[in-house]
Amino acid sequence: MSSPASGDESVSRAPMKLHWSPSSPFVRKVLIVAHELGLVDRIACERAVVGPARLNPDVMGDNPLNKIPTLVAQGSLVLFDSRVICEYLDDLDGRGLMFPRDPARRWPALRRQALGDGLTETAVLLRDEHWRGDGHRSATHLLAYREKVRACLAALEAEDLAAERPDIGHVAIACALSYLDFRMAEIGWREAHPRLAAWESAIAERPSLALTLPVEANKRSLSFYEME
């Protein structure tokens, strides 16, 4: 796979803009990859507040889905979602560190990325459903989301996640587990999953993760339709 920088050094060093929130797990995923690849200094983070029904004209000017992360890479090149952005950064770097070239490593990495991202997405849906309030929550959906979270954690406990350095699968899983700690500490997943907990504690010490810990984006309480 060739890098977009091939034959054009100016393109390889061009600045990029990232529509960003300090509490978004998918934004964090992009920033962890950028740190791991030494590209974070090329990215200017622009604060973006979005929600299920909270449209942001600046974000929508670049991404009609009104979602973050959205990366304005160079000229007219705009990329979303986190999976596409992370692969772009890896291609820009050119070493294949996040998205391994060897099929024996690449497909497990992509599968783990899908599992990690899916766990995060399910956790977000579970949180959103809780925010709907009494009389609006669906007991059926709450049960299904909780069961999916439980099943994902059980599957991850059985995974052999040991690696000399993280790839995109490890990053996605670490972001998902951190999001559970950040937004759903009551789940208390660590006690029932000691192997996974030990792995998460170890990878969390990497500078790329320590420097991108999620923080609360707003001091005041938000209604469901304002949530990011």
C-alpha count within 13 angstroms, C-beta hemisphere, residue 162: 2
**pLDDT digits 0-9 by tens, 181-202:** 999 999 999 999 999 999 999 9
Does 202 lie in the same domain as 114? yes
**pLDDT digits 0-9 by tens, 106-163:** 999 999 999 999 999 999 999 989 888 777 889 999 999 999 999 999 999 999 999 8
Q: Where are the beta strands (DSSP E) in 2-155?
A: 16-20, 43-47, 70-74, 77-79
Q: How confident is residue 221, by pLDDT bands cut at 50, 70 and 90?
A: very low
Closest CA to 91 of 154, 42, 37: 37
pLDDT for residue 3: 42
**pLDDT reading at 10 higher than 70:** no
Q: How confident is residue 222, by pLDDT bands cut at 50, 70 and 90?
A: very low
Is 215 within a domain?
A: no
Number of domains in the chain: 2
Q: Which CATH number goes with the domain that contains 18?
A: 3.40.30.10
pLDDT for residue 1: 39
pLDDT for residue 2: 38
Is 14 within a domain?
A: yes
Q: Which structural domain range is residue 107 located in?
A: 103-206
Is 221 within a domain?
A: no
pLDDT for residue 9: 53
